[in-house]
Amino acid sequence: MSDKKFLSRRQFLERAALLGAAAVGAGSLLTACDPPEPQVDEPDEPAEPTADTDDFSCNDEAALADLNEDEIGRREAHEYTDQTTTEGQTCDNCLHWEDPAAGEQCGGCAVLPGPFHPDGWCNLWAPAA
Ligand code: SF4
């Protein structure tokens, strides 16, 4: 009795083809198991700056409802704005500033009529003593 220890050429080629197919299949499986790409959240767009600070206005239609045209004209003539663009000069550090009444956000002014924003400004600004 003799054992065949060698493969025939045909058997060798069949087994080689099977091993090759198995290697390709394993590669596909490994690829399918790759962890997903981490998702990077894009930062939110910065909020657009608004003309008024602190979400309230002392210069809109509602705030000026009690003023007449002449009084509104005086505010405009002195370039009043709710948001200063002049570094270091705001209504609340102005000589003419009057603190808001209890429960109010807008203050007053000794030289112009109407409500004024603490961060506001006009061309009559003068440093507080
Ligand atoms: S004078 Fe002008 S800057 Fe000064 S408190 Fe009055 S509005 Fe504001």
- Please tell me the distance from the alpha carbon of residue 114 to that of residue 100, in angstroms, as a whole number: 12
The count of C-alpha atoms lying within 13 angstroms of the C-alpha of 10, restricted to the half-sphere facing its C-beta, is 0
The protein residue whose alpha carbon is closest to atom 2 in ligand 1 is: 122
User: pLDDT, tens digit, for every residue of 49-74?
Assistant: 444 456 899 999 999 999 999 999 99
pLDDT at residue 11, rounded to an integer? 66
pLDDT at residue 14, rounded to an integer? 74
Distance 32 CA to ligand 1 centre (A): 69
Find the mean pLDDT for residues 34-40.
62
pLDDT at residue 129, rounded to an integer? 82
Q: Give this prediction's pTM.
A: 0.62
pLDDT at residue 47, rounded to an integer? 46
Which atom, in ligand 1's list, is nearest to the CA of 90?
Answer: 3
User: Is 70 exceeded by the pLDDT of residue 13?
Assistant: no
Mutation choice for ligand 1 from 59, 84, 98, 116, CB with most ligand atoms inside 8 A:
116
The protein residue whose alpha carbon is closest to atom 6 in ligand 1 is: 109
Structure tokens at 11: 């058997």
Mutation choice for ligand 1 from 81, 87, 109, CB with most ligand atoms inside 8 A:
109
Largest CA distance in the chain: 125
pLDDT at residue 98, rounded to an integer? 98
User: pLDDT, tens digit, for every residue of 83-129?
Assistant: 999 999 999 999 999 999 999 999 999 999 999 999 999 999 999 98
Which atom, in ligand 1's list, is nearest to the CA of 123?
Answer: 2
Structure tokens at 71: 């009084």
Query: What residues are paired with 81 via a beta bridge?
Result: 121
CA distances from 69 to 21, 72, 78, 106 (A): 89, 5, 14, 20
Domains of the chain in start order, with CATH, are: 57-129 (4.10.490.10)
